[in-house]
Structure 1
Amino acid sequence: MSTAVAHPNIALIKYWGKRDEDLILPCTGSLSLTLDVFPTTTTLTADADAAADAITFDGAVATGSAARRITAFLDLVRAQAGITARARVDTRNSVPTGAGLASSASGFAALAVAAADAYGLALDERDLSRLARRGSGSACRSVISGTAVWYAGTDDATSFAEPVAGPALGMVIAVVDAGTKAVSSREAMRRTRDTSPYADAWATATAADLDEMLAAFGRADVTAIGELTESNALRMHAAIMASRPPIRYLTPQSIALFDAAAALRADGLDAWATADAGPNVVLLCRDGDVAAVRDALRERTGLPADRLIAAHAGPGARLVPASDPAPAGVSA
């Protein structure tokens, strides 16, 4: 039995689009911040007597595509370990699933760490990042503590995430809608690639954005980091909305939160908005400003306190004793 905990990450430079769907190799590199909120806890037990994998999410038996996706991932681990034993997998998820808050990132990062340990694979952080990527691309970044860059690479061996040094950053997550989105990220990526006239421009611009972002981190330039974060998010959503038929994740309230970030900056409080593939908006700021940004955002938008989540840089995916209580879902 092995138990692992992982947290979601929010991309500052987005991952959107695969050039290899089997290996999950991205069209471009990306960069993210792993958070200290919304942990996923996964316990895996190898069972030589079982005829099939048994998978539960928050106490409910997983079926359909969700179960098949996990079994396919475990087959990769079993092949690498040279072991055929099936597994019992129990996952407890505190991040809303399918809401654009990186639930698959924390989920597959935790699964990768637990499965590698249970099946006896001695993997270092880079190897775990490669493995997690095969379950969900962004999961390779949740293996890493704090800020991580995911290299697009040219093959399986060269596409992984590693830490990036830089200034202390924090976030305020504004939960617009915690429900499951109508179009999954995987489907939306395919539709963007196949039908959006901006897909190629998105990839070219994002590669340049990543180079600029790494340079901004190198000189600890928070303003440049924030401006690149907001611009890159809006470029991604522009490419998505240009798909046919169109996909629109951002709601009027989402756009209002981008406007609120601009208003906070005009008032002298630095914060920049970003959004993954969903309606929920995240404000990036200096770590010491998280509480002030949350309070100012609540005053400006009227959102209740339980929908404004303060977050800081968090730990990478890691093993924990099975007897440990589940980590808290959010931080104060």
Structure 2
Amino acid sequence: MAHCLRMATVPSVSCFSSSSLSSPKRRSFRVINCSKLPHVNPSDLSPSMLDSGDMPLNRHKNSDYRTFSDEFCRPRAMTAYYDYEETSYSDSYSEQDSEQDNPPPDLESIILADRVIFLGMPLVSAVTELIVAQFMYLQDDDPDKSIQLHINSSGTTRADGEVVAREHEGFAIYDTMMQMTCEIHTFNLALAMGHACLFLAAGTKGKRFSLLKTRAIIQQPRALPSGLGPSSDVLVHAKEVAINKDNFIRLFAWHTGNSEETVANTIAKGTLHMNPDKAIEFGVIDQIYYGAAKKKERENIRARARARARAREERKMKKNKQREEKN
């Protein structure tokens, strides 16, 4: 291969005068020393060139002169590089695809797999739709296995008393619960207010639980603001509120074992706040949930471990005393 390269150079011009423009300078050449070009690494071949097959075919007359096209057109280099690229990219893409095809499950799906439904928001339309769909799915999945309903909701109102949903949202969930053929275990985690308290009382008798520091609240049903509507709509809303109140009193009295007059008089006096003990007395829940059986088993295991540790210490003390007596 040639060891030198002819390169055209143009002398620098300090200024552009009329004489210089009229008589152009003649080109001159100078020699630049250069070294041999290294051989091409077969791993640097591009897949596009391999696939297209368009290679420069003009060879130098001298057989000792090797061009880049000679390296590109070597069959071994082409096949080796193609195999390497195929295996490396396929492995990396397969790992990425496997990770994307199996995304981590969300928390709601995990607890739903254990047949647990969590009601943790006011009963707006989206929440009602989700709870009803979960009940229907679990009923279709196994109609005989029990369902757990965990409650921490303020019903159709917010915690400050502002109405955010209509009463029929709560009755939709209640009617769905009554259609279930399996047992429904209800748990009050923090707050069960209004229709959420009705859900708590509507669980299977003997399977209605509450944690230690919870509140169950019942109050008169309230209507959403009617806004600037005609007077006829106001009358319709008033009748609807009265009907919902009667339905709530009747259903709550049936599930708690009280008379309708007792429930009506209690609601008429104002909002009733019940702690777990008072909720048991009123018939809303059956018992207070102190913890799972596994927790008690762990406590028993720890107690037995402490007893064994004390026994080992006593045996060591006895051995030490015996040694001292012998000495």
Fold match (TM-score > 0.5): no
Using the size of structure 1 for normalisation, the TM-score is: 0.19
Larger RCO: 1 or 2 (CA < 8 Å, sep 6+): 1
Query: 1 or 2, which has the higher strand percentage?
Result: 1
Q: Which structure is larger by alpha-carbon Rg, 1 or 2?
A: 2
Using the size of structure 2 for normalisation, the TM-score is: 0.19
Query: 1 or 2, which has the higher helix percentage?
Result: 2
